[in-house]
Amino acid sequence: MEVMIAAFLTAVAVISLLPMQSTSLRTGFRADYLGRAVGIMQSELEHRENQLMCTGTPAPGTINQTITVSDPINGTSAATGDAIFTVVTIITTPAANQWVVNVTVTWTGGPASGITSSIFVTRQLYSC
């Protein structure tokens, strides 16, 4: 009798925890995508800052990129189920030797606005 009661209580506990599994998986996937997007955004900001400080290029304008997790360099060979991120970089020049770099990263299933960050870059002599 005691074994049956223990088995019943264990079954109730396990069944009550099952709905939490899908929630925790969704939260884990969301955190993974957000972490990858933040890494891509930071890398793009640093890359453009380095370009502007050393050479003054690229020219102001919009740069669109698609980055896949399995092929982050070329972004062309996405594997099945691969995470695909869209990166939009907008560079403006408010004054001479000054640039504002705004990077927005979006992905399928993420927030519609994605995540955005900006950096203000000034070029100094002999910086590279």
Element (H or E) spanning 6, and its range?
helix 2-55
**Beta-carbon neighbour count of residue 107 at 10 Å?**
20
Spatial CA neighbour of 60 closest among 100, 105, 104, 117: 100
Sequence ranges of the domains in the chain: 2-122
Spatial separation of the C-alpha atoms in residues 9 and 17, rounded to whole Å: 13
Spatial separation of the C-alpha atoms in residues 41 and 88, rounded to whole Å: 10
Q: Tens place of pLDDT for every residue, the chain, 128 residues? A: 899 999 999 999 999 888 888 888 888 888 989 999 999 999 999 999 988 888 777 788 999 998 887 765 665 666 677 888 999 999 999 988 889 999 999 998 888 889 999 999 987 766 56
- DSSP annotation of 59 reads P
Contact 83/102 with Cβ under 8 angstroms? Answer: no
